[in-house]
Copies of this chain bind each other. A is one copy, B any other.
Amino acid sequence: MDVYEALYTTRAMRRVRPDPIPTEVQDRILDAAIRAPSGGNMQQWRFLLVTDRDQVARIAPHYRAAIDFLWDTIYADRLAAVDADPDAPESRQLAAIKRSVDWAAANFETYPLLFFAFDRGDTTGGSIFPAVWSAMLAARAEGVGSSLTTILAVKADEVLEILGVPADKGWRMVCCVPMGYPLGRWGVAKRRPAHEVAYRDRWGEPLGREIPEPLWSPGA
C-alpha cells in the first residue's frame, strides 16, 4: 500500500469483527512499531498484545466505566450542546463519534486484539506515539482497523493490576489500541483544511497558499 493511502485513510475504526488477527499480521504490526524513533533512541517502551478472551473481558468493564466518566465530565458541555442543537454540523459529528465509542464500550469483549503501549522516563509522548501510530498505519496496510484511546488512564490502577504492569519501576500506560477487521469502510476523514491550521514563519501569518481539498484521494 502506498504510504499516502495509509496516511489519509487510517481513521478511527472502532466497529470491527471478532475474527482473530493472524499471528504473522500481529508480527508485522509490532515490528513496524519498534522502527519508530524515540528520544536518544532509548526505546524505553513496552508493548502488550492482549488476545486472551478472559483478559479482554476483565478490562471491558473498566473501559465502560471510563467512557461513562468521559461523557459525564470532559464531554458533558459538548453533549448538552448536541442535545440543544442536534442538526448543527458539530453536533452531528460529535453524535457520530459518541455512537462509535458507545459501540466500542458495548462490544469491548469482542475485540480480537488490544494493543497496549507503555513508556518510561519521557512524559511528552514524543517517544511512544510515533510507535503507536506506526502500528496503526501498519495495521491499515494489513486491512486491520484500529482506534487509539488514552481514556483507560481513568482506571489505571485497575487495568495495571489486570495486566501486571510494574508501575513502581516507572512504567506508564500510554494508551490502548483495540484492533480488528473492520465492519465499516475505509475513507478519508473530514478535517479542517491545512491552511486554516498552519502559519508561515510566525503565528497568525498566512501559510501563503490554500489547500481546500485533500491532496490525496482514492483512485486519484
Contacts and interface: CB of A to CB of B under 8 A. Distances in A.
Interface stretch (A43-51, A61-69, A103-111): A43-51
A51 B126 CA distance: 24
A198 interface: yes
Contacts of A209: 23, 27
Contacts of A46: 197-199, 203
B3 A138 contact: yes
B203 A164 contact: yes
Quick one: copies of this chain in the complex? 2
For chain A, which range describes its interface: under 10, 10 to 19, 20 to 34, or 35 or more residues? 35 or more
Nearest to A98: B40
A93 to B, nearest CB: 7
Contacts of A125: 124-126, 128-129
Contact of A3 (B3, B164, B192): B3
B48 A198 contact: yes
A160 to B, nearest CB: 9
A8 interface: yes
Nearest to A125: B125
B200 A51 contact: yes
A174 to B, nearest CB: 7
24 contacts: A1-B2, A1-B3, A3-B3, A3-B141, A4-B141, A7-B35, A23-B208, A30-B211, A32-B216, A35-B189, A37-B147, A41-B97, A43-B192, A45-B197, A46-B199, A46-B203, A48-B199, A49-B200, A50-B200, A51-B200, A125-B129, A129-B130, A130-B148, A166-B203
User: Which 7 A/B pairs are nearest by Cβ-Cβ distance?
Assistant: A125-B125, A129-B129, A130-B133, A164-B203, A3-B6, A47-B198, A52-B201
